[in-house]
Amino acid sequence: MEKEKNKKNNSSTIERVELSNISITVFEHVNRYIFASNFVNNKIVLDAACGTGYGSNYLSNYATTVYGIDIDNDTIEKNKRIYNKNNLIFSCGSIYHLPYEDNMFDVIISFETIEHVDDGDKVLSEFKRVLKSDGILIISTPNKQISFDNKIINPFHKHEYFENEFQELLLGYFKNVIINYQSNYFTNIIFNQNFNYETEYFSTDIDNLKKGIIEKKDFCINKEYFIVIAYSNDCISDNIKNYICVGNEFLKHEFNNIAEKIQNNIYKSLNYKIGYFITYPIKFLLNLFRIKKYPDL
């Protein structure tokens, strides 16, 4: 993703998604690109603020050509070495001044980028310039309502958007705006052998559950991110599929990471070191006794 450069603290790399660091953030980004892949078949695609390029590479499996652009030159050069494909072209540049001709792209992808710039209008104006008249923009950004309600301030976000605010901004450039929502949920699934994707969604009340009462309640959508499809023609149906990316491995990885961090913090604590120092002679004697008593163990 693209941000303004800073000599002391380059935020373009601080919030950059690296696949080597598996996390919930990676899980979210992967799902976005899988969602976007359904709109790029045989298309010329721009991945604006492509970051480390894994998404551009994935889209290139479906698109005619994918252009990935990012403000960080070192990242772009690395992308060129890792993803060397004829239909995948990486360039260094700013989304404020895209180095492409007018009406060049069928689809523009821009995930978690617009919140990192001061002037969203300028970015959308550039997207509109290089997008074909019948092209589509797929753009995501965090929901400001979430950070507002939870009093979260991200120092690298120049401007976050409330839902109505983001919709109005996009409608200034596109005739049609379809808003999708993305969030993470802890889920438990029951399905039969003839699973046909007809699913009932519900939740439970935690406070009542602690009291021994099971209460089924309506599933509440948590609008953590907006993923918006914006376009000016009428060729896209409003009936867009929902996507559930089942992340068992991601969740297991997250839990293991948390457990490892807690364990490391315990090992580094002064109390642990003192306790280890005091108990070491006892453990040594017990181990010595065990070896003498059970030499075959």
Tell whether 275 and 143 lie within a shared domain. no
Q: What is the per-residue DSSP string for 168-194?
A: HHHHTT-SEEEEEEE----------TT
* CA 200 from centre of chain: 26
Tokens of 18: 């690296």
Tell whether 237 and 272 lie within a shared domain. no
Residue whose structure tokens are 């002391």: 8
Q: What is the pLDDT of residues 61-101, one digit of tens each?
A: 999 999 999 999 999 999 999 999 999 999 999 999 999 99
Mean pLDDT of 178-191: 79
Tell whether 134 and 89 lie within a shared domain. yes
Q: What is the pLDDT of residues 216-233, one digit of tens each?
A: 777 677 789 999 999 998
For the cut 80, the answer to whether the pLDDT of residue 254 exceeds it is no
The predicted pLDDT at position 189 comes to: 66
Residue 85 lies in a domain: yes
The predicted pLDDT at position 145 comes to: 92
Closest to 224 measured CA to CA, from 167, 250, 185: 185
For the cut 90, the answer to whether the pLDDT of residue 36 exceeds it is yes
The predicted pLDDT at position 213 comes to: 78
The predicted pLDDT at position 290 comes to: 66
- CA 58 to CA 61: how far, in whole Å? 6
Q: What is the pTM of this model?
A: 0.75
- CA 161 to CA 140: how far, in whole Å? 11
49 Rama sector, left if φ>0, alpha if ψ -120 to 50, beta otherwise: left
Q: What is the pLDDT of residues 255-278, one digit of tens each?
A: 677 777 788 888 788 887 787 778
Q: What is the per-residue DSSP string for 194-218?
A: T--S----EEE-HHHHHTT---EEE
Tell whether 153 and 289 lie within a shared domain. no
Residue 4 lies in a domain: no
The boundaries of the domain holding residue 50 are 11-186+221-245
Tell whether 115 and 235 lie within a shared domain. yes
Closest to 19 measured CA to CA, from 65, 78, 94, 84: 78
Residue whose structure tokens are 């181990």: 287
Tell whether 159 and 251 lie within a shared domain. no
The 8-class DSSP code of residue 177 comes to E
Tell whether 270 and 241 lie within a shared domain. no
Asked if 126 contacts 98 with a C-beta cutoff of 8 angstroms, the reply is yes
The 8-class DSSP code of residue 143 comes to B
The predicted pLDDT at position 297 comes to: 44
Tell whether 182 and 271 lie within a shared domain. no
Give the pLDDT band (50/70/90) at residue 291: low
